Structure formats: structure tokens, C-alpha cells
A and B are shown apart, each in its own frame.
Chain A
Amino acid sequence: MREKYAMHLALASGGLIFLVTILFALVQSPDILSASVQTGADVPHPLAGYESCDSCHGREGMMPYPVRHLGWSNNSCQGCHGRDDAAAP
């Protein structure tokens, strides 16, 4: 009985914390609720022919991206980083 009571209390608490964690994830990913917003810096070079971002910007590349970008794939870069048309090729 007391063990069950403690378990129910733990489940309710854990559930609440989980909900708040989901809320945190939603707050940090407003794109899930609205249109995707680019937040990263523009790409200062043409994109055509340079689809493999990791080649130059991977951790072993010439211009590695910040550590916090670890785990993003080549397909995801343009989700935040757009083409700066004014930039020189």
C-alpha cells in the first residue's frame, strides 16, 4: 500500500516533469508550430556542387563548424543556413 502510494506519487511527478520537458522542447523548436525560420548565418559561397558540407565544415575539415553542431547531417545545414546571393563565389 505505502509502496504503491510512493510509486503513484513518483509516476505523477515523473509524468509532470516529462510534460515540462516536452514544453521545453516545443519552446525551443517553434518551427514545429509555425513555418521554419532560418536562424543561422548565410552561406558565403554557392551551394551547387558543395552539397557535402561535412567535407569542409566537418570536425576534421578546413573550416569546422562549432562543436554544438555535432550530429547534424549534410541534409539539415540549409534548414538554418541560407545562400547569401550577394556573396562572392
Chain B
Amino acid sequence: MRYLYYGLFVIGAYLVLAMFPLFVLLVGPEIPGRGFWRELSVGLGFAGLAMMGLQFFLTGRFQGITSPYGIDVVYHFHRAISLLAFIFLLLHPLILLFSAPATLGLMNPVAAPEWITAGSIAFFAFALIVISSLYRQQLGLSYERWRMIHGYGAVAAVTLSLWHMIGVNYYLQGDVKRGLWIAITITWVLALLYIRLVKPLLMSRQPYTIEAVIPERCSSWTLILKPEGHAGMEFKPGQFVWLTIGKSPFSIREHPFSFSSSAMHPEKLAFTIKELGDFTNTIGSVSPGTRAYIDGPYGSFTPDRYQFSGYVFISGGVGITPVMSILRTFADRHELRPLLLFYGSKEWEEVTFREELELLQCQLNLQVVHVLTAPPEGWTGEQGFIDAEVMGRYLPQQRMDCEYFVCGPLPMQQGIRSALEQLGVPAEQVQSESFNFV
């Protein structure tokens, strides 16, 4: 319940902050309206900009904002609400042109006042941000270049929008209202500065050294990190961080990875990473002794949020990583509750951590069910995909009292969720995180 109320508070605060700048316009001496459509156009412009400005907070990885929902939900919300804000901003000139076609002449940058041109450029900057986010891969943009466009483009768009609003000089007449809007804009930009300057500065004071790079099965590598001159990082099992390796913490080259180590050992952190892309393909060549920086921990994919009488884990491929963190933590805590792991892999030789899982079955009240899509000859275990039938054979009778953790590719997550629904498991007891943003 605590997370529910706090979540309501966070979304309520978001709505108040998104609408506050609109209410500011009505404060003070009465400003006559100029017809419904024109005022709707203006209102959408202000509201759209306020929503865009708040994105700096949504993407700032502030624990206070992410903790009730999980950072993946906040990022998906950011993506969806940005599209709506962009539609608002698109409607602003469209309604204006529709209700007063003479304004079309204002679009000519040669003859238009500077503040009109500033508004037009701001709109195109927002369009660039949205399009580059929706179609990054189709446009062949690297993650780093996309982040640069996203960050610098957002600051430029918001600043130009402020210039546009002040230039129009209708609702922002008077020092108080103008000052308030400038203060609001500065707050947005400060949030970005916190992310890009203050946070990296804090990270630079808590560096880590890569102690070992251990090859694992299935083209995966485990990085062992030791803190340099500090106690390390407290985290909950199943959480993740943004990791910067061999670069300055001010670099925009950082990537999210789940802990695979026990949360009981903040002084020795491990991340198991599968070779899946440009950056992860280079993990194996990272030299021990390389410096690393960590931003985190984040995520709500952890059994430490709610108490259940048992836990069921369903993972596919490298999705085993956060589950290993949970199981290792449980082993360190001498956990007695029943645990069940469904672990989907292609081949037996590709099963990452399979030897350690055998050991963990002895230490914990744990049953591991391997499900292989390409089993070896003579395989007597489960084969194919993890579905309702497979799970139904192993789930305990009191399955409603368990919490479920699903980690793997998005199609697998969707399949498992519907399978669990068929088995009567309430959706709110199924935890998963998805990071397929751009």
C-alpha cells in the first residue's frame, strides 16, 4: 500500500507541475481572451511546453520519482507523454493557422519577428528529438549520438520556446509572470544539469576498479568490480545500474546492466553481460584494472519490496543475471522459503551458471527446471518453450501465494505473462522490467 499511495502522490505532483504554468497565466490583472480557438492554441502551446520541460525530471533517474513505479515504467511514461506533448505543440500552430489563416505569413523566417522564428525552430527541435527517438535504429543513429541530440536538442528547444513566449508578450506581460516562467524553465534546465554534471561529479568520487573479467557460458562475461577508497554500493537483489567503463563519468557512454552478485556483498559487485551489440561485444576485451563508474542502483525487480511465502523465477538467456543476484543473496541470507526457477535456454552447453545453480539447489529450498529449445540427445528434461503446460507441472498448489519474476526478451515476457494469467496468477504478483526504449 505504501508504494500505491506514494505512486499516487508522484503522479499527482506531475499533474500539478504540468498544469501550474498554465494557471500562472491567469494570475494577476485580467488579460482579455482572443476567442476560444486562439486561446486553445495558446493553452496547448504552454501546456505542451510544460510537459516537455518536466521530461528533464522524468529522465533524471531521481529515486523519489522512480521508486514507486520502477524506472522502466517511468521511462515508458516519459516516452508516451512526450508524444502527447509533441501533439499539443503541433496543434498550437495548426489551430492558430486554422482560426486565423493570416498567421501563415508569420512562418516566413525572412519577414517574421525573431521570436516567431525562435518558436518555429523550437518546434522543429522537438520534432527532431521525437523522430530520432522513435526511429533511432532505422536512421542508423548510434546510442551516443542519439543521446547528444536528445540532451542538447531539448535544452535548445526549451530555451527557444521561452524566447518565443516572452516575445509574444501577451500572457507573460509583467515581471512576476515572466519571472515565474523563466524560473520554471531554469528549474527544468537545472534538472538536466544535475543529471549531466552533478551526478557524474558524485560518481567520480566513488570510482571502481575492474578486478576480473570472467568468461561464462553463452558468450557472456562477468565483470567483478571493487570499490576504490569507499565501501561500495548498497543495493537490493535484482536491481541494476548504469555502468561507465574506461571513460570519464561525464561521458554519455553508459549502459544499464543488472547486478549478478549478492546484495550482501556491496564491497564486491558483479555484472554478467552477454555479447549482444556494439558495446557488449567488447566486454571480453576489458582489461582488469580499468576504472569504472556506477550510477545506481535502480529498479523494482526485487523480492525485497513485498513479502510472499514463495518465489517463482522465469528467465530466458541472459535474463538469468538478476535472478542470480536474488538467489545468491537468498543463499547468503539462509532463505528458507520455497523457490522455483524456470530457465529457458537453447542448448545445454549454453546454460549460463548451470554449475552454480546445481550448488544453490543444495543450499536453498530451490528447484531449477531447465527448458531447452535444442536439447541434446537423451535429454529427459523439459524442452520447447516455457509455457502454461510446463509451468503447470511444477508450480506448487499454493501458487497464488507466490511472487513471480520474469526476465528475458520482450516476446518471452509477454508469453509468460499470458501463460501465468491462464494459470490464475494475479497480474500484480508478476514482476518484470523492460528496457526496449530507443
Question: Do B51 and A24 touch across chains, with their CB atoms under 8 A apart?
Answer: no
Q: CB of B203 within 8 A of chain A?
A: no
Q: CB of B18 within 8 A of chain A?
A: yes
With beta carbons under 8 angstroms apart, the residue of A11, A14, A24, A32 that contacts B26 is A24
CB distance from B120 to the nearest CB of A (A): 14
Q: CB of A22 within 8 A of chain B?
A: yes
B73 and chain A: residue at smallest CB distance: A6
Q: CB of B70 within 8 A of chain A?
A: yes
Q: CB of B29 within 8 A of chain A?
A: no
Question: Do A32 and B70 touch across chains, with their CB atoms under 8 A apart?
Answer: no
Q: CB of A9 within 8 A of chain B?
A: yes
Given contacts A5-B73, A17-B47, contact A29 B113 (CB under 8 A): no
Complex Cα–Cα for A45 and B79 (A)? 55
Interface size on B, residues (CB 8 A): 55
Given contacts A18-B88, A73-B102, contact A24 B43 (CB under 8 A): yes
Complex Cα–Cα for A20 and B38 (A)? 15
Question: Do B40 and A21 touch across chains, with their CB atoms under 8 A apart?
Answer: yes
Known: A25-B40, A72-B100, A73-B101. 17 other contacts (CB 8 A): A2-B70, A2-B434, A6-B74, A7-B77, A9-B11, A14-B51, A18-B44, A25-B36, A28-B32, A30-B33, A32-B36, A39-B32, A67-B113, A67-B169, A68-B169, A71-B103, A73-B100
Q: CB of A10 within 8 A of chain B?
A: yes
Question: Do A21 and B44 touch across chains, with their CB atoms under 8 A apart?
Answer: yes
A26 and chain B: residue at smallest CB distance: B36
> What are the interface flags for B295-306 relative to A under an 8 Å C-beta threshold, 1 for contact and 0 otherwise?
000000000000
Query: Among residues 64 to 86 in chain A, which have CB atoms less than 8 Å away from a CB atom of chain B?
Result: 67-68, 70-73, 76, 79-80
Which residue numbers of B lie inside 8 Å of A, CB to CB? 11, 14-15, 18-19, 22, 25-26, 31-40, 42-44, 47, 51, 69-70, 72-77, 79-81, 84-85, 88, 96, 100-103, 106, 113, 168-170, 413-414, 417, 427, 430, 432-434
B83 and chain A: residue at smallest CB distance: A10
CB distance from B245 to the nearest CB of A (A): 28
Given contacts A2-B72, A13-B18, A71-B106, contact A24 B80 (CB under 8 A): no
Question: Do B73 and A2 touch across chains, with their CB atoms under 8 A apart?
Answer: yes
Query: Among residues 34 to 89 in chain A, which have CB atoms less than 8 Å away from a CB atom of chain B?
Result: 39-40, 67-68, 70-73, 76, 79-80
Closest 10 CB pairs of A and B: A28-B33, A6-B76, A10-B80, A14-B84, A25-B40, A71-B103, A71-B100, A25-B39, A21-B43, A28-B39
Interface size on A, residues (CB 8 A): 37
B35 and chain A: residue at smallest CB distance: A29
B40 and chain A: residue at smallest CB distance: A25
Contacts of B43 in A (CB 8 A): 21-22, 24-25, 28
Question: Do A20 and B22 touch across chains, with their CB atoms under 8 A apart?
Answer: yes
CB distance from B126 to the nearest CB of A (A): 15
Contacts of B18 in A (CB 8 A): 13, 17
B103 and chain A: residue at smallest CB distance: A71
Question: Do A68 and B170 touch across chains, with their CB atoms under 8 A apart?
Answer: yes
B300 and chain A: residue at smallest CB distance: A2
CB distance from B17 to the nearest CB of A (A): 11
Complex Cα–Cα for A13 and B35 (A)? 26
Given contacts A21-B47, A71-B96, contact A2 B22 (CB under 8 A): no
CB distance from B425 to the nearest CB of A (A): 12
Contacts of B38 in A (CB 8 A): 71
CB distance from B167 to the nearest CB of A (A): 8
CB distance from B101 to the nearest CB of A (A): 8
CB distance from A52 to the nearest CB of B (A): 13
CB distance from B133 to the nearest CB of A (A): 14
